[in-house]
Amino acid sequence: MGCRRSTFRTTEEFFTPLETLPRDSPEAASLKEIHQKLVDALGLARGVTHTEFLKSHADGRFYFLEIAARIGGAYISNVVQAATGINLWREWAQLEVGAGKRPYHLPPPHEDFAGVIISLARQQEPDTSAYTDDEIVYRISKYHHAGFVLKSSSANRIEELLATYEKRFVSDFLATQPIPDKPTS
């Protein structure tokens, strides 16, 4: 499944939500093809991979950034489960228990769309109760963070909610810290 990150920028803050791509989009087809070639070239026989690409504004092409034999962070597994019903952790465990010696069959996926939005928050325990949309399927509860995982049968609805939440999060929660002159650790 392909995902898209968009960046919202005010004068001094960056904010990055993530959403699933429409499955029939040219971007999704291109990413699937590139990803499969990469996995094959690395000889990965089974497991879960987390692969990142950047899309160039200049030429529209995807450029490889990184791959890891693990599940992605930043609530990616929650987004995948919301969109497809597939729990990556459970499926990865099934693959490892079988160790390639037992047949494995991926459960049939749902075909919904999902997204995640998360922000560093000024508040220790941000109050997100003013966000009441039915598409919120998971509220991120983390010290000094505000965020949600969203799910809908409509890719446009996810995109619309993320755009709305980006603006609201900036005024409701967003905390920033100046970049230090030199590394701190």
Report pLDDT digits (tens) over 32-70. Answer: 999 999 999 999 888 889 899 888 889 989 898 999 989
**pLDDT tier, 19 (very low <50, low <70, confident <90, very high otherwise):** confident
Distance, CA of 115 to CA of 137 (rounded, Å): 10
In a domain, 72, yes or no: yes
H helix or E strand, kind and range, residue 181: none
In a domain, 92, yes or no: yes
Report pLDDT digits (tens) over 141-167. Answer: 999 999 999 999 999 999 999 999 999
In a domain, 7, yes or no: yes
Helices and strands (H, E) in the chain, number of each type: 4, 9
Distance, CA of 35 to CA of 2 (rounded, Å): 10
Distance, CA of 131 to CA of 38 (rounded, Å): 40
Portion of the chain with pLDDT greater than 90, in percent: 60
Contact (Cβ atoms closer than 8 angstroms) between residue 115 and residue 17: yes
Distance, CA of 155 to CA of 114 (rounded, Å): 8
Structural domain tally of the chain? 1
Question: What rounded mean pLDDT belongs to the chain?
Answer: 87
Tokens 């899309």, located at residue: 55
Contact (Cβ atoms closer than 8 angstroms) between residue 123 and residue 169: no
Handedness of CA 129, 155, 91, 93 (dihedral sign): negative
Report the candidate in 99, 29, 38 with the shortest Cα–Cα distance to residue 65: 38
Which two three-digit tokens encode residue 154? Answer: 């409509």
pLDDT score of 160: 96
Rounded to two decimals, the pTM is: 0.83
In a domain, 184, yes or no: no
Report pLDDT digits (tens) over 104-148. Answer: 888 999 999 999 999 999 999 999 999 999 999 999 999 999 999
Q: Which domain holds residue 39?
A: 3-172
In a domain, 42, yes or no: yes
Helix, strand, or coil here: 65?
Answer: strand
In a domain, 68, yes or no: yes
Please report, for the domain that includes residue 66, its CATH number. Answer: 3.30.470.20
The alpha carbon of residue 106 and the mean position of all alpha carbons in its chain are separated, in whole angstroms, by 20
